[in-house]
Structure 1
Amino acid sequence: MCSTRPRLRDSCCRFFPGDSIRSFAPVGGGLTNTNYKVTLARRAAPLLLRLYQRGIAPAQKEMAIDTLIASRVPVLHFYYLGEDNPVTGHPYAVLDWIDGPDLQHIMPSLSQDRLLAFAEKIGKVLAAIHSFMFEIFGFFDAKLNVQGPIDFDRAGMLAYLDQTLVRGAGGERLGRPLVDALIAYAEKNGDILKDWLVQPCLVHGDFNAPNILVLPERDDAIAAVIDWEYALSASPAMDFGNLLRPPFDGNAAFAEAVARSYVEAGGVLPKDWQRIAQLADVYSFADFLSRPYVADVVIKDARRVIAKLVAE
């Protein structure tokens, strides 16, 4: 990709006539797409150039979500989306650049009090995300039409585990003993999922610390929730399950602060919400484990979290 950078500059600069590139640097951290920080000579604020590796549809979906929720949820603003580029052929977008770290990056330096302050802000953001309602459960197309319906109850989970972990590639990565234990757990406890299957709503699908950008110098404000490629119409339990994975899973005060803020902002939680969220998070792990390419760290996390779940 290094040899393509000078030509990629032209792809970005064409949308700002009369301007020139002052700096152009790759940005680490993305597992799916390729990102560059771009600084223009005549524009004070930097920009983000993103190359989408999975085609135009995820990019169009992200831009549609930005348009839908930007008035309530902090997100990256899209200035332009192109279906392809003359250098790599990938779809690409020009977006806001947020000059702040993600929450995971600063977590080692956070005191418990400061972390709990973040928890309250996260609860409010989650309530805002989940305030966007849809008619049925399912995946979005590029225009946020819901392709469904999909069952997120006990029967739906068992069918999905069969698809991804029994007949799919995920089972080999997770290991047969753990797959069998997970299926047995879902058969026994899966009925609790129905307690959080109310009105289908917008779910981020990958809501965790690396996807929450913050501004420490501005009272730890949440600057943006990023990477909406896996968003869907589903139960809020899925986002709570994703958020409360390690390292947050052992922090009861953090979970309580998120929940309290979420309810105060208008969100609704069932009585056994943490247990439901833990089980709902299995959908996300099963999805990632069944993909053609999976990072070793994802497999390791899946084994650890699922082993803890079934042991309980």
Structure 2
Amino acid sequence: MEENYPLADWLNNETSDETLKNDFSEDDISIFSKIKKYSAQLETPAFDEQKILTNILSSPKQKVVHLNYNWIFKIAALFIIILGLYFSFTFLSNTNFTAENGSETALILPDESEVILNSGSNLSYKKWNWENNRLIELEGEAFFKVAKGKKFEVNTTAGKVTVLGTQFNVKQRNNRFEVTCYEGKVKVTHRDKIVILTKGMKTIFENDKSLDVPNTYINQPEWINDEIVFYKENLKNIISEIERKYNVTIELNSSNNQQVFSGNIPSNNLDVALGILTKTYHLKIAKKTANKITLTEINVQK
């Protein structure tokens, strides 16, 4: 019975990419493609069969055995290279997740910690040695339910959050850094400032200044339940958040909106969200298409 080795045939350029789809997932095929690319740049030592055979025949009292191990050596070397590269790509490289504008992404970390990634956000971590180095790189906003274990850290460009096992929300947008603790205790580091938060406490830094913010009495962030909550937020940041949640572009023709806004805006009804925004800032919708909205001041004549 003839044995079939689809991966070996594919690595040897004897079959097409389509043949792998029956036996492997798209993620595995992606890793195999990288392995194939880099292993092709490696060279195995030259194997001169004729020279070795001549030496054997010229040696006295030698029994000549016609064996061809060249292909065995090549396969063994290639197998070792594949294992090494597969290990590197799988465990040493970053694992990345993205929540595109207009969507949210839920994921489970290797320790069973749960994360919900908000719209327009990115998260990455390394699987290798995760139990001893639970480190997350975050750009945007995410809600965490952390399993108990060793130190768990969330790094952003604005600051760092350190916990042992708790539930908390981290938001880093532009020059604003917010952390809310829903359970347990977290340590927030921003520049040279350290703040300890317990259940119901929240801290906000904007332009490196701390804002006084009231405690919260809910168990999870409002954005999970289709509400965007703002606290002393400027119009530019509000528009950016609406753009992310609804996956639209908003053009603002106004230069006289310096007031800050505190309140809730729905993330599942664009008309209502725009109504709150235009009423609060004395704006009107000058033009609206499926994915682009133009806002202008009410007293501006077009």
Same fold at TM > 0.5: no
Larger radius of gyration: 2
Q: Which has the higher strand share?
A: 2
- Bin of the TM-score, shorter chain as denominator length: under 0.3
**Normalized against structure 1, the TM-score is what?**
0.22
Q: Which has the higher helix share?
A: 1
**Normalized against structure 2, the TM-score is what?**
0.23
